[in-house]
Amino acid sequence: MIRPCTIVLKQTMELLPLFAAIQRTPRVALTLSFVLFTLTIVPALYSLLANPTLPLLISSSETDGPFPSDHVHLSPLNSPSFRTLSPVNSPIPAPPYHTRHQKSSFNSSPVTTSTLRTQIRDDEQRCDLFKGEWIPNEESPYYNNATCWAIQEHQNCMKFGRPDTGFMRWRWKPDGCDLPIFDPNEFLEMVRGKSMGFVGDSISRNQVQSLLCLLSRVEYPEDISSSPDIAFKVWNYTSYNFILHVMWSPYLVKTTKPDPTDAKSNFFSLYLDQYDTKWTSQINQLDYLIISSGHWFYRPLIFYENEKLSGCQYCSLPNTTELPLHYGYTKALRTSLRAILENFTGLAILRSFSPQHFEGGPWNKGGDCARTRPYRRNETIPEVSDLKIHDIQLEEFRAAEEEMEKKMGLRLRLMNTTQAMLLRPDGHPGRYGHLQTEEVSSRNDCIHWCLPGPIDTWNDILLQMMKTEK
């Protein structure tokens, strides 16, 4: 049998005299070159374009259009230098009037796919989202105070001269999987025609503001609040018929404020066994509920149970039992979870305690948080005194979880972000949440979180938990 290569070699040798003649005739050589191009290159190009299985050598970051993504990129047009926002009086400022009913004016830069995965693979579904560490992420931040109207001044960590920006460039990496970065298009499609409520204190509101900023790449919401009460806001993403509720309840249960006309009434009064109906009466209309609290329970408080005075905390009142720290929080959280068990049938999430990072003293005695990078998990972390709140949350959640099994429809989950946030002493406003003057130079905020910043990870996790439940 004659091999193909032998035939080709023989035919080539036979053509050599012809090639020599062609070289001496330029017009014939040009004609032959055109014929060879037509017979070889053109069919190859046709095959490439007609066959969809052949890969096109275009990186995903260069594609144009609203593809599902795990990262949101700010184009140069959307990444101006940080600008100054005017002071606001409401907990969450309203979007610019002319854009309330429109898509975000920053949509000129479409949400595109990133080099990171958009979802957790099937073999990673058992990955614990809450165990891991922070790794560099040069693609962040995904918004700034020029593209998001919801950032308050005390969270605007660049406005008052913070010299470092590294706190914005980390992402949470769980052990065993990659946590996708928040995709605003995917989120809004998932909640189309649904409603979500956040209940808690200013840290809860901090997460809502992060969510508003992340969604601002797609749409600004319309304020449809039924009353002027700035503690209870309702937003509507009209293109998606998605309703977002923000409900202020730092103690979670029925509470009365100190009476300004009574010099002896200097304490909040908590009715530990009674619902705060301002939010519990609304949750039956929600599909998603995120609840959190904790920091307010370190103040002087008076407690009532069964409509009777049961004791106090840090009060030193005559004929009043001084109850141990965390007594009130345990009872209040238990009551709040009972309200959810009795009145809610959607996906309820208890977000765990957000640690503070004061070093060198407490908040009112010069304590500060001046670190500029996350802790590694094998580093020695200064002792944090308020993690008892986290322990209580775990205990009460487990008890409520057992009761949940008896109720159809309700899903109660724990967003256990405490360990991740314990590693982020660099993410607080610290001294850069206000103008530095002699009068306020010692007021450092090591409780709330910068925007953009580590708290954006809570919404990465929120979306992943919603996807898992779906």
* 8 located within any domain: no
Check residue 383 and give its pLDDT.
Answer: 77
Residues 52 and 197 in one domain: no
Check residue 50 and give its pLDDT.
Answer: 38
The amino acid that residue 390 corresponds to is H
Of 37-46, 235-244, 292-301, 423-432, give the lowest mean pLDDT range. 37-46
Determine the Cα–Cα distance for residues 449 and 426; give it in Å rounded to an integer: 9
Pairing of strands 288-291, 253-256: unpaired
Residues 31 and 128 in one domain: no
The tokens of 187 are what? 């989120």
Check residue 82 and give its pLDDT.
Answer: 29
Say if CB 160 and CB 433 are below 8 A apart.
Answer: yes
Check residue 49 and give its pLDDT.
Answer: 37
* 11 located within any domain: no
The band of 455, judged by pLDDT with boundaries at 50, 70 and 90, is: very high
Per residue, the 3-state secondary structure of 227-242, as one string, reads CCCCCEEEEEECCCCE
Determine the Cα–Cα distance for residues 371 and 382; give it in Å rounded to an integer: 12
Check residue 406 and give its pLDDT.
Answer: 79
Higher pLDDT, 176 or 86: 176
User: Which residue, 368, 364, 359, 351, is CA-closest to 433?
Assistant: 368
Residues 92 and 151 in one domain: yes
Say if CB 196 and CB 289 are below 8 A apart.
Answer: yes
Say if CB 185 and CB 68 are below 8 A apart.
Answer: yes
* 268 located within any domain: yes
Q: Would you tell me how many other CB atoms lie within 10 Å of the CB of residue 272?
A: 25
The band of 136, judged by pLDDT with boundaries at 50, 70 and 90, is: very high
Q: Quick one: 41 exposed, middle or buried, by C-beta within 10 A (0-12, 13-18, 19+)?
A: exposed
Q: Would you tell me how many other CB atoms lie within 10 Å of the CB of residue 362?
A: 11
Check residue 307 and give its pLDDT.
Answer: 93
Pairing of strands 132-136, 170-174: antiparallel
Distance of CA 248 to the CA centre of its chain: 19
Check residue 446 and give its pLDDT.
Answer: 94
Residue found by looking up tokens 């005559």 in the block:
318
Average pLDDT over residues 91-102: 52
Residues 28 and 113 in one domain: no
The amino acid that residue 464 corresponds to is Q
Check residue 430 and give its pLDDT.
Answer: 93
* 12 located within any domain: no
Check residue 24 and give its pLDDT.
Answer: 47
Number of H helices, E strands in the chain: 9, 13
Share of the chain above pLDDT 90, in %: 57
Q: Quick one: 450 exposed, middle or buried, by C-beta within 10 A (0-12, 13-18, 19+)?
A: buried
* 101 located within any domain: yes
Does pLDDT of 321 surpass 90? yes
Residues 198 and 267 in one domain: yes
DSSP E strands, 359-442: 411-415
Residues 335 and 448 in one domain: yes
The band of 386, judged by pLDDT with boundaries at 50, 70 and 90, is: confident
Check residue 357 and give its pLDDT.
Answer: 94
Residue 299 vs residues 276, 293, 353, 432: alpha-carbon distances, Å: 19, 13, 16, 25
User: Which residue, 347, 342, 327, is CA-closest to 407?
Assistant: 342
Say if CB 184 and CB 106 are below 8 A apart.
Answer: no
Residues 42 and 138 in one domain: no
Q: What are phi and psi of 383, to 5 degrees?
A: -60, 135
Determine the Cα–Cα distance for residues 172 and 358; give it in Å rounded to an integer: 22
Residues 41 and 128 in one domain: no
pLDDT per residue as tens digits for the range 8-59? 444 444 444 444 444 444 554 445 555 444 444 444 444 433 333 322 222 2
- DSSP for 248-263 reads E-TTSEEEE---TT-T
Q: Would you tell me how many other CB atoms lie within 10 Å of the CB of residue 248?
A: 20
Determine the Cα–Cα distance for residues 391 and 398; give it in Å rounded to an integer: 11
Of 232-241, 270-279, 317-326, give the lowest mean pLDDT range. 317-326
* 369 located within any domain: yes
DSSP letter (8 states) at residue 140: -
Residues 52 and 88 in one domain: no
Q: Quick one: 173 exposed, middle or buried, by C-beta within 10 A (0-12, 13-18, 19+)?
A: middle
Determine the Cα–Cα distance for residues 374 and 137; give it in Å rounded to an integer: 13
Instruction: Provide the residue range defining the domain that includes 26.
Output: 17-57
Determine the Cα–Cα distance for residues 98 and 149; give it in Å rounded to an integer: 13
DSSP E strands, 159-267: 170-174, 195-200, 222-223, 232-237, 242-248, 253-256
Residues 403 and 276 in one domain: yes
Sign of torsion over alpha carbons 425, 171, 127, 187: positive
Determine the Cα–Cα distance for residues 203 and 159; give it in Å rounded to an integer: 20
Instruction: Answer with the one of 57, 79, 106 that is the final residue of a domain.
Output: 57
Residue found by looking up tokens 């103040």 in the block:
299
Higher pLDDT, 52 or 377: 377
Higher pLDDT, 382 or 261: 382
Residue found by looking up tokens 């705060």 in the block:
276
pLDDT per residue as tens digits for the range 166-221? 999 999 999 999 999 999 999 999 999 999 999 999 999 999 999 999 999 999 99
Residues 35 and 136 in one domain: no
Check residue 27 and give its pLDDT.
Answer: 54
Residue 114 vs residues 78, 111, 135, 166, 174: alpha-carbon distances, Å: 17, 9, 17, 21, 19
* 1 located within any domain: no
Catalytic residues: 202, 445, 448
Q: What are phi and psi of 446, to 5 degrees?
A: -115, 25
Number of structural domains the chain divides into: 2
Check residue 108 and give its pLDDT.
Answer: 33
Higher pLDDT, 367 or 237: 237
In DSSP terms, 103 is beta-bridged to 219
Instruction: Answer with the one of 8, 32, 57 that is the final residue of a domain.
Output: 57
pLDDT per residue as tens digits for the range 343-364? 999 999 999 999 999 998 888 8
* 329 located within any domain: yes
Residues 276 and 250 in one domain: yes
The band of 381, judged by pLDDT with boundaries at 50, 70 and 90, is: confident
Higher pLDDT, 374 or 10: 374
The tokens of 100 are what? 């309330």
